[in-house]
A = this chain, B = another copy of it.
Amino acid sequence: MTETNNLSSIIQNVSRRELRDLVRTQLQMLLKAGDLQGAKAILVSVQPADIAEAIEGLPKAMHALAFRLLSKDEAIEVYEYLDYSVQERLIEELKSQEVRDIVDQMSPDDRARLFDELPAKVVNRLLEQLSPAERQATAQLLGYEADTAGRIMTLELISLKENFTGSQALERIRNFANASEMIYYLYVTDAERRLTGIVSLRELVTSEPEQIIGEIMTRDVVFVHTDTDQEEVARLIQRYDFLAVPVVDREQRLVGIVTVDDVIDILQQETTEDIYALGGVQSGGDNYFQMNLLEIARKRVVWLLVLLVTNTITGTIIKSQEDLLAKVVTLTAFMPLLTGTGGNVGAQSSTVVIRGMNTDEIRSLGVLQVIGREAIAGVLLGGMLGTIATVWAYYLQGRLEVAIAVGVSLVAISILASISGSALPFLFRYLRLDPALMSAPFITTAVDVVGVLIYFNLARVILKL
């Protein structure tokens, strides 16, 4: 008891992050020394999420050993926080009885997500071992398409009837609280299990015990369908500041709820996919830093090859201008400046437009208005940069015509880059492709092609060649 209190007071004084590092290094040391009792003591009064991280930080061979230190209840909680790859390894290494206990106790939505990652053979074996009720719940969730509300919802909810009194409802909550993930929103259904209203535990606790649920509930319930995309579910919860949202089937029957903690993880995962797409990396939901290198190379090379081919077009254009470049070699020196700046302006435009689409911030403006604004921004930026580039180019090589060709090209390229950077994501969305494919790497490469064309042609006109 004193030891626990001491650890508690340590917890008060170090930051959570330092604590996590401490637990991880201590655990590893004690396990290496074979001191299982000491290792067990270290984990007392540590949060499950932190224990999971400590286990993930251990060498792979120690995962099962460390996991076995936990009590059965702890083990189940910690398991849900572990990375899929670690969960998978534990399933292989633990005894089948241990695995059965854990998997049977997991909440069905977490279990369905784990099963998504496991080989079909393992899933079938595990499904057979589940208790009938759990097996049915999991099979039901797995029946919905990936990335939909049906797949991420939890089935563990408490529903009420309109004719319940407040105290009857509280009694029901008391009885079912342990089997329910979220007891702060209670959903009201009719005889056919159709959703008719919602009442919060806050309303329930503050109302009179004799009041009828039908009188205190809100009838205009915001809900989603089982096939609603998970990102849309997440945006909805974010928009209305909800703690959960109910999921109904085609007959408006209540089948589950999606809770806010899952939503935060979904938003993070979707954002990572967006950011990877912006950086030209194909993503698939796995943790990049846990993937093997061949997988990584495969995920990255596709885009690089596409861009390599596009870059060849730029090369071909340059090659076709060999006569011009041979006459005025100094023109070559300004190519990186022009294509580089054009690429950067285009990358800026496509970045803000793609992010604006994902967060819906762009909705207050029409498509043409967005592109128009970017075009004007392109004029402003081109004007500033073009002036500076002209002076700079003149200073560097002393020929006014070359300097003017560089400056005027930069203005034209800036405008063009802003317009294509903002318009191409819209075009892709219209074609029902992912707008993020029109991200910085692609825009940069595309602007290169048109940029050198503009530059060489302007140079020919201005230099009269």
- Asked if residues A381 and B265 are in contact (CB atoms below 8 Å), the reply is no
Given pairs A304-B385, A335-B335, 20 additional interface contacts (CB within 8 A): A238-B261, A241-B261, A243-B243, A272-B359, A276-B355, A280-B348, A288-B361, A293-B377, A296-B373, A304-B344, A307-B340, A308-B337, A308-B389, A311-B337, A319-B332, A319-B396, A322-B333, A344-B444, A344-B445, A347-B440
Which B residues touch A294, using CB under 8 A? 380
- Please count how many residues in chain A sit with their CB below 8 Å of the partner chain's CB atoms: 121
A residues 291-327 touching B (CB-CB < 8 Å): 293-294, 296-297, 300-301, 303-305, 307-308, 310-312, 314-316, 318-319, 322, 325-326
CB distance from A90 to the nearest CB of B (A): 16
A428 within 8 A of B: no
Q: At the interface with chain B, which of A26-34, A62-70, A91-99, A170-178? A: A170-178
Contacting pair A202 B220 (CB below 8 A): no
| 9 A-B contact pairs sorted by A residue (CB < 8 Å) | A173-B205, A241-B261, A276-B352, A279-B352, A304-B345, A312-B396, A318-B336, A326-B329, A340-B448
Cβ of A399 within 8 Å of any chain B Cβ, yes or no, is no
- Is B377 in contact with A300, judged by CB distance below 8 angstroms? yes
Judging by beta carbons under 8 Å apart, are A238 and B265 in contact? yes
In the assembled complex, the Cα of A236 lies from the Cα of B325 at a distance in Å of: 58
Contact of B220 with A243 in the complex, beta carbons under 8 Å: no
Q: Are B206 and A177 in contact (CB under 8 A)?
A: yes
Asked if A287 lies at the interface with its beta carbon under 8 angstroms from chain B, I say: yes
A352 touching B281, Cβ below 8 Å: yes
Residues of A within 8 A of B (CB): 8, 11-12, 16, 45, 47, 49, 53, 56-57, 170, 173-174, 177-178, 183-184, 201-202, 205-206, 219-220, 222, 236-243, 252, 260-261, 263-265, 267-268, 271-272, 274-276, 278-281, 287-290, 293-294, 296-297, 300-301, 303-305, 307-308, 310-312, 314-316, 318-319, 322, 325-326, 329-330, 332-337, 339-341, 343-345, 347-348, 350-352, 355-356, 359, 361-365, 370, 373, 376-377, 380-381, 384-385, 388-389, 392, 396-397, 440-441, 444-445, 448, 452
**Pairs of residues from A and B, 4 with the lowest C-beta to C-beta distance, nearest first:** A279-B351, A241-B261, A314-B336, A319-B333
Closest to A241 in B: B261
Q: A268's contact among B240, B267, B310, B352, by CB below 8 Å, is which?
A: B267
- Please give, as numbers and ranges, the residues of chain B lying within 8 Å of A326 by CB-CB distance: 326, 329
Give Cα A315–Cα B356 distance, bound, in whole angstroms: 35
Closest to A268 in B: B359
Contact B444 A290 (CB under 8 A): no
Asked whether B381 lies within 8 Å of A300 as measured between CB atoms, the reply is yes
| B300 in contact with A351 (CB, 8 Å) | no
